[in-house]
């Protein structure tokens, strides 16, 4: 008899933003495989005898590859136990949950996917930035700055729109290139942009500017990763807009 794997979204950083179903999975797990972006406080809800395995990824640090993580989950599930793969945000939004799911399928291992609040929603709520607003943002695009080839997308012209919000994950190290390219492709250099570091946590910092000046502001503020980039007129709704860098004090309901 094989085990059962739950691919669990831990939310954007605030441990209180985890779902009830996700919390129940953590409480009943025999093994928890967790990453760097899942709130460490969540492990306090685990059974005293549960096993915890860290597989976090950080730039410039030795880390377990995604293929190794996939193999680990399959190996752990060869025994009849409940396994939680705890991932920051949502497993299916730049969380590589799809790759882990396919590995489990190929090994004929039962699994479930428990969604979590993704960083775009969590950071937007914590800073008072609506992802959509019928006057200025009729759509939202979620984009990762780190594809499988490590390159930025080539079709930047498709992202140059004035009626939607562009949210870029994992783009802090490429911020200057991102802003310069968008302007070169026709976006206004005065387009508002927010860079949100460690969103929804007490350590959150937000730098707000325009495509023309935000890279220098972020450099001056020395924002740490992880950080989310939000571009669009909806950024003008942000709380503390008058401050270049500040902790957002807005509480997420």
Contact between 170 and 183 (Cβ < 8 Å): no
Q: Which of 2, 24, 57, 174 is catalytic?
A: 57
- The secondary structure of 77-143 as a DSSP string is TTSS-EEEEEESB-TTSSS-HHHHHHHHHHTT-EEEEE----HHHHHHHHHT--S-BTTTBSEEEEE
84: closest CA among 18, 6, 27? Answer: 6
What is the C-alpha separation between 71 and 199, in angstroms, rounded? 31
Examine the residue annotation and report whether 35 is marked as an active-site residue of this protein: yes
Spot the catalytic one: 35, 87, 174, 190.
35
Active site residue 57: yes
State how far the Cα of 178 lies from the Cα of 171, in Å rounded to an integer: 8
Q: Which residues are catalytic?
A: 35, 57
């Amino acid at each position: 008899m094989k085990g059962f794997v739950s691919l669990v979204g831990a939310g954007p950083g605030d441990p209180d933003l985890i779902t009830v179903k996700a919390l129940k999975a953590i409480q009943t797990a025999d093994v928890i495989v967790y990453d760097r972006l899942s709130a460490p406080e969540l492990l306090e809800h685990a059974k005293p005898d549960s096993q915890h395995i860290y597989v976090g990824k950080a730039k410039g640090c030795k880390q377990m590859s995604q293929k190794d993580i996939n193999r680990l989950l399959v190996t752990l599930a060869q025994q009849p136990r409940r396994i939680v793969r705890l991932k920051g945000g949502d497993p299916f939004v730049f969380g590589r949950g799809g790759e882990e799911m396919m590995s489990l399928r190929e090994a004929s291992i039962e699994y479930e996917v428990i969604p979590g609040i993704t960083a775009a929603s969590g950071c937007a709520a914590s800073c008072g930035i609506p992802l959509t607003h019928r006057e200025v943002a009729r759509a939202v695009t979620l984009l990762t700055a780190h594809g499988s080839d490590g390159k930025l997308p080539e079709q930047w012209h498709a992202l140059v729109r004035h009626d939607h919000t562009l949210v870029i994950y994992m783009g802090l190290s490429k911020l200057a290139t991102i802003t310069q390219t968008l302007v070169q492709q026709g976006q206004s250099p005065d387009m508002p942009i927010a860079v949100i570091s460690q969103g929804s946590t007490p350590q959150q910092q937000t730098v707000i500017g325009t495509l023309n000046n935000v890279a220098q502001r972020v450099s001056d503020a020395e924002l740490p990763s992880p950080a989310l980039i939000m571009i669009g007129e909806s950024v003008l709704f942000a709380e503390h807009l008058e401050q270049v860098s500040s902790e957002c004090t807005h509480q997420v309901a």
